[in-house]
Amino acid sequence: MGKLVSDQTARDVLQRMLTAAISAADPSTCLPSFLPPPPIGKTIVVGAGKAGARMAETVEALWDGPLMGLVIVPYGYGSSCERIEVVQAAHPVPDDAGHEAARRILALAGGATADDLVLCLISGGGSALMSVPAPGLMLHEKAALNSQLLRSGADIAEMNCVRKHLSSIKGGHLAATAMPARMVTLLISDVPGDDPSVIASGPTVADPTTFSDAQAVLNKYGIDQPIAALNVLKKARTETLKPGDDCFRNCETHIIATPQMSLQAAAEVAHGAGIKPLILGDAVEGEAREVAKVMAAIAKQMRHRGQPVEAPAVLLSGGETTVTVTGDGRGGRNSEFLLALAIALNGEAGINALAADTDGIDGIEDNAGAVLSPDTLERAARKRIDAKAYLANNDAYDFFQRIDDLVITGPTHTNVNDFRAILIA
């Protein structure tokens, strides 16, 4: 491709990279080779997550024998499956629909025999969707705590540590319920490091964290309500299932898609366009606006000094940043990252960027993310939009909406977390 001729060309390449990243994690592509052989008895499919419907559709299309089951997906992520029931529920704060469906999943798994196969389809979002509070805790109390965690700045591992210890289905409890059946879990990872115990709070895998760890998370972020949730953690009556427990003896776990696979797919698009890709990592964490400052500095170094690689090049990264919410605006972590990046770059020529959540929903809004170009701040200023004020109010969604720079994909039916690309011409 050589030198990029326009910012519009850069945007086209960035959009193709995002499309390739999402396609690499499509269950219809990555799931088939991991399907186990049919059992002597029944095959029971259970699961939850943003990729749940597409995973269920893929299993149905390829499974010859009898099949039954239930998966939970967010509202708007439904499916026309015939043998596997797809229930829609709330995300990221659990509701009654998810609670009732999760109880039905426990009943399905609990009815399995030694001749049966329990096929568990898990992807990001499953922790909120599949909610069965621990004894002594009501759903609305757990939901209230979950809302506080989402606004606190806690990372996904910290949030899921707490969730597991307030649950009767997460932290390996689903695997224990399915004994003595064979259990095969297929995971699409949306967490830094691809730790199965963190993905959707690990309902079918061993959990190394403890009640004390969960209490430490709440102490760290100053969360002291609701009292019922804190009491469950203090009493520490039923620990999550630990490595070596007998319930995992007949369990297999396979990660079928990861953030790194999607970044590599985007890198191939860059190569094809004559752009050098530099993958910074698939597990980038930290406050979104602080990560943006670091990446802006790297992008400027590449543009002016040709280090660590010469332009044209693209910085690719994945993982999950966090946002500590202090304002009352709208927007997810990717939009906030991009607004902070625009401010840090301050109109630097030749740098375009895109940041989006691969599930198609950034936070709780209808956009996947946003794009920026060298004239982003200039176009905003012409409309009397103060970028710094919008960032201070956590209002990145409205900022990019007003200058028509939102990226809207709709639900993608997969989820390998954040995708960030900064293209230096």
Domain limits, the chain: 7-23+260-424, 29-257
pLDDT band at 136; cut points 50, 70, 90: confident
Region 58-63 average pLDDT: 96
pTM score:
0.89
Give the β-pairing of 313-322 and 182-188. unpaired
List, for residues 292-310, the tens digit of each pLDDT value.
999 999 999 999 999 898 9
In this structure, the strands spanning 351-357 and 369-372 are antiparallel
| pLDDT per residue as tens digits for the range 391-412 | 999 999 999 999 999 999 999 9
Q: What is the pLDDT of residues 351-386, one digit of tens each?
A: 999 999 999 999 888 999 999 999 999 999 999 999
Measured torsion, CA atoms of residues 51, 208, 323, 299, in degrees rounded to the nearest 10: -80
Non-local (6+) Cβ contacts of 113 within 8 A are 41, 42, 180, 181
| Mean of pLDDT values over 117-135 | 95
Tokens of 419: 């995708």
Separation between Cα atoms, residue 133 and residue 170, nearest integer Å: 10
| pLDDT confidence of residue 104 | 98
418-424/313-322 β-pairing: antiparallel
Q: Is the pLDDT of residue 250 over 80?
A: yes
The DSSP bridge pattern shows strands 351-357 and 406-407 to be unpaired
Q: Is 316 in contact with 278 (CB distance < 8 Å)?
A: yes
Please list, in sequence order, all residues whose beta carbon lies within 8 angstroms of the beta carbon of residue 330, skipping any fewer than 6 positions away: 363, 365, 394, 395, 396, 397, 398
CA–CA dist 101, 93 (Å, integer) = 15
Closest CA to 45 of 59, 62, 25: 59
In this prediction, residue 192 carries a pLDDT of 84
* Interatomic CA distance for residues 131 and 26, integer angstroms: 25
Q: What is the dihedral of CA 145, 146, 152, 158, to 10 degrees?
A: 110
Max distance between CA atoms of the chain, in angstroms, equals: 68
Could you tell me the CATH superfamily of domain 29-257? Answer: Glycerate kinase, MOFRL-like N-terminal domain (3.40.50.10180)
pLDDT of 86 reads 97
3-state DSSP call for residue 333? helix
**pLDDT score of 329 more than 90:** yes
Q: What is the assigned CATH class of domain 7-23+260-424?
A: alpha beta
pLDDT digits (tens, 9 = 90+) for 266-294: 999 999 999 999 999 998 989 999 999 99
Residue 4, pLDDT above cutoff 70: no
Can you tell me the distance from the alpha carbon of 196 to that of 207, in angstroms, rounded to the nearest whole number? 9
